[in-house]
Amino acid sequence: MSPRLKTASLPHKDAAFIEPMECLAVSKLPNTANWAWEIKIDGYRAIAVKSDRVNLYSRTKKSFNSKFPYIADALADLPSGTVVDGELVAIDENGRPNFNLLQNFRTGASRIQFYVFDLLCLNHRDTTKLPLIERRELLKTLAFKDKRIKIVDYVEAQPTELLSAVRTQHLEGIVGKRKDSLYQPGKRTGAWIKFRVTIAGRNSS
């Protein structure tokens, strides 16, 4: 079934900035199968809105278009009336996120990518009231010609195994999201959580 048919019964919504849903920091991971796991990415949270053109916003609704015009251009394949949530990330020569490179966005432009992990509006239809797993299935139907746009998928591993890999690769941590969670703009409900690893004797937070 096409995305347009799947969303036909959803409420109409104009494509506009939506305040990002937040993760709750935790010191212990839940022991349940109802969670999806992702690698925590060290970057700038961003909301992309496609109406007549693409507008890229920070979490506080400041425009990112002038800082990252090449990312806004790369998102041109978004259907009209679509809003996505993601993270602007700079990838170093070892394939790891590097926040310092991201801050030097002018000289490091070739290394900056946009990782899309949620779909908030599609074809002028509000998807925020769909469960996360359904939003992710719709998100997978989007395609981008520009390789700087990446669609994030779940990591198929137990949280403890994932944490071990994250520590080995010196990454920031992991994010867990309830598979049935709705998207709640600006909220930190505990339906999304983040766990930071300890690196070199101290917590990375």
Kindly give, in sequence order, each residue whose CB lies less than 8 Å from that of residue 131, ignoring residues fewer than 6 positions away. 179, 180, 181, 182
Q: Tokens standing for 7?
A: 């969303």
Q: Exposed (0-12), middle (13-18) or buried (19+): which is 51, by Cβ within 10 Å? A: middle
Amino acid (1-letter code) at residue 82: T
Tell me which long-range contacts 92-96 makes (C-beta under 8 A, separation of at least 24). Answer: 96/169, 96/170, 96/171
Q: Tokens standing for 117?
A: 């992990």
Kindly give, in sequence order, each residue whose CB lies less than 8 Å from that of residue 39, ignoring residues fewer than 6 positions away. 155, 162, 166, 171, 174, 175
Q: Is 147 designated active site?
A: no
CA–CA gap between residue 33 and residue 14 (Å, rounded): 35
Kindly give, in sequence order, each residue whose CB lies less than 8 Å from that of residue 104, ignoring residues fewer than 6 positions away. none
Q: Which of 6, 13, 40, 194 does the annotation list as catalytic?
A: 40
Question: Which residues are catalytic, by number?
Answer: 40
